[in-house]
Structure 1
Amino acid sequence: MIRGLPIILNGYIAGQEAGNVPYVVENGCGEFSKSPIEISKIVAEWFEPRSRQLEIMSQNALRLARPEAVFKIVQDMHELVRQRNRLPQLSCTA
């Protein structure tokens, strides 16, 4: 989402990724289908003349983007490893 690109999800890993589908669809930054035929129809609709779907979904994706999230994840992982292995504290700046 950080790039503002709409997404088509065609599957997910049960448990850890199950929430991704409703998050993307309900926030208007992508669509979900397991059907290749349906996916091709979705893409065709996105590129129809005078369609604003891509523009709207792109704006929605940018609105949801959290570019700092990757740095927070790395900091959290570093802290877990440091605590487990008693590593020295390193400075992480975003």
Structure 2
Amino acid sequence: MTDSPRPRDTRALPDRWRDTLLAARSGAPGPDPLPYAENLLVRWAEPQRRYHTTAHLTAVLDRIDTLAGYAADVHAVRLAAWFHDAVYRPDRT
């Protein structure tokens, strides 16, 4: 997937994580989503990353929003996007 050359606004990512997790829970109780967002966003912002950055994550989530109508379980797809490169090791590419 090629990200757009324009800068992406990543400030909404904590809210997008919260919304994704709450929707995936389908009303079931659970822990506060914010600490998990903070942990994931620290990972996505690691200095060794060149492509799999918060801008890339935003681009993926934007694309999912565009194609959401085609997904059987869009919440699972969004969760997969958040975790697809949460652990990034450049020596394992």
Do Structure 1 and Structure 2 share a fold, with TM-score over 0.5?
no
Higher helix share: 2
Q: Judging by fraction of residues, say which structure has more strand.
A: 1
- Using the size of structure 1 for normalisation, the TM-score is 0.31
Could you tell me the TM-score, scaled by structure 2's length? 0.31
